[in-house]
Amino acid sequence: MVRSDEIRAAGTDLVKVYTSATGEMHALRGVNVSFRAGSLAVVMGPSGSGKSSLLNLLAARDVPSAGSLRLLGREVSALGRGGLGRLRRHISYVPQRASRALFPHLSAGAQIRQLARLRRVREVDPYAVLSRVGLEHRASSRPADASGGEQQRLAVALALVGTPSLVVADEPTSELDHRSGDQALAVLSEAAAAGSAVVVSTHDERVLAVADRVLQLRHGVLSGEREGRGQALAAIDPTGRVQLPPEALERFPTGRALLTIEDDAVVLRPPGDAG
């Protein structure tokens, strides 16, 4: 039984700063998110907005610079290397570059059997796994002989071996045509239906059709959120910061707003506006 209220991944004030020779890059600036079992959440946002940074954290492939990250009930900062490794066994990750998820020397069928061993899955039918993404005829081919799209489909198929608690897929349809993209999405939404918490980042509007929830990232900040086909919500962080969508922001060229609290609304007006 899946408890649909069970939170499988949660970040509080998540910060990710990359340090390089040219300086610091603040990729995530205090993000608050949570992901539940049995649902598929989509993270959208322009290139550079922090999607991969967030997904790397959720997949336990990276640790935050600050803030709290709870994965499968564990606080990541309290885990050592071993603990983090054990956690990863229950988390499937489809990286933006799918080839990174593949064993380069193994055929597609052998990849599936190998992963099943690592995840302690007793029985696995590689043919059945491959046919879900239309790769049943490719069981004996190695990653080097596969196209980018085939590698991506294989990575998605691998992500589902052993019904992982959490599935994190970074732009998993970026190299797929409509038909195989739809197949991959069907597989990801089946994983959610089977009880996994599924997080998918994308630019692909088709993914919205299978989303239970859509999160918008901008400049490393969660700017908006929409539940199902319901209302679009702006995210408010615990210190009270709200990020305005661009069409609202352009009304405040001075970067200042007149704020009034009314009975049923909080209103922002450009200063000097009679309202």
What residue ranges bind Mg ion (CB under 5 A)? 51-52, 96
* 275/272 Cα distance (integer angstroms): 9
Closer residue to Mg ion in complex, CB, 52/111: 52
Member of 10, 27, 102, 192 binding ligand ADP (CB under 6 A): 27
Choose among ligand ADP, Mg ion, none what residue 196 binds, the Cβ cut-off being 5 to 8 Å by kind: none
For residue 1, the minimal CB distance to ligand ADP (Å) is 35
154 touching ligand ADP, by CB under 6 A: no
End-to-end CA distance of the chain: 54
45 touching ligand ADP, by CB under 6 A: yes
Pairing of the two strands 66-71 and 266-269: unpaired
51 touching ligand ADP, by CB under 6 A: yes
* 58/54 Cα distance (integer angstroms): 6
For residue 263, the minimal CB distance to ligand ADP (Å) is 39
Closer residue to ligand ADP in complex, CB, 52/173: 52
Three-state DSSP class for 248?
helix
22 touching ligand ADP, by CB under 6 A: no
Member of 2, 7, 17, 25 binding ligand ADP (CB under 6 A): 25
Choose among Mg ion, ligand ADP, none what residue 8 binds, the Cβ cut-off being 5 to 8 Å by kind: none
* 261/275 Cα distance (integer angstroms): 14
Residues with Cβ < 8 Å from 5, sequence gap 6 or more? 36
* 13/30 Cα distance (integer angstroms): 4
Q: Give, in order, the Cα–Cα distances in Å from 152 to each of 4, 39, 93, 115.
A: 29, 22, 12, 16
Closer residue to Mg ion in complex, CB, 49/111: 49
153 touching ligand ADP, by CB under 6 A: no
For residue 192, the minimal CB distance to Mg ion (Å) is 21
Closer residue to ligand ADP in complex, CB, 30/50: 50
For residue 138, the minimal CB distance to Mg ion (Å) is 26
- Closest CB to Mg ion: residue number: 52
* 41/228 Cα distance (integer angstroms): 9
Q: For 117-193, list the strands marked E by DSSP.
A: 166-170
Nearest to 166 by CA among 32, 59, 77: 59
Member of 48, 67, 134, 149 binding ligand ADP (CB under 6 A): 48
Residue type, 79: L
Member of 9, 39, 53, 158 binding ligand ADP (CB under 6 A): 53
**In the structure encoding, which two tokens stand for residue 58, read together?**
């959720």
Q: Per DSSP, what are the bridge partners of residue 200?
A: 42, 169
* Residues that bind ligand ADP in the complex, under the rule CB under 6 A: 18, 20, 25, 27, 45, 47-53
